[in-house]
Structure 1
């Protein structure tokens, strides 16, 4: 949602992901993103990186 005072976006995502034979609960919180699209791209990239750690930990 855009902040009323700054016009910047807070983008958050929480979910359960099954990857590498494990179930992961992932929460990514961001604030101060210049656009909705930029915030979504950042949150998606961070979530993928976080889940990817489990694949490397084997």
Structure 2
């Protein structure tokens, strides 16, 4: 769960790192945020890669 909580601030950081012109060019903000969050979710967090640590995500069972 902690990793999922890291995806949201990472996604918003990318949004606010763009210029106003880049943000205005996006026709659907919700779709953009969803797409970027999904992409961030499949990559290990930056702090794990920077520290040379191995990141292992546990699988969630379908019955949960």
TM bracket (short chain): 0.3 to 0.5
TM-score normalised by length of structure 1: 0.37
**Greater share of strand:** 1
**Greater share of helix:** 2
Q: Over alpha carbons, which structure has the higher Rg?
A: 2
TM-score normalised by length of structure 2: 0.35
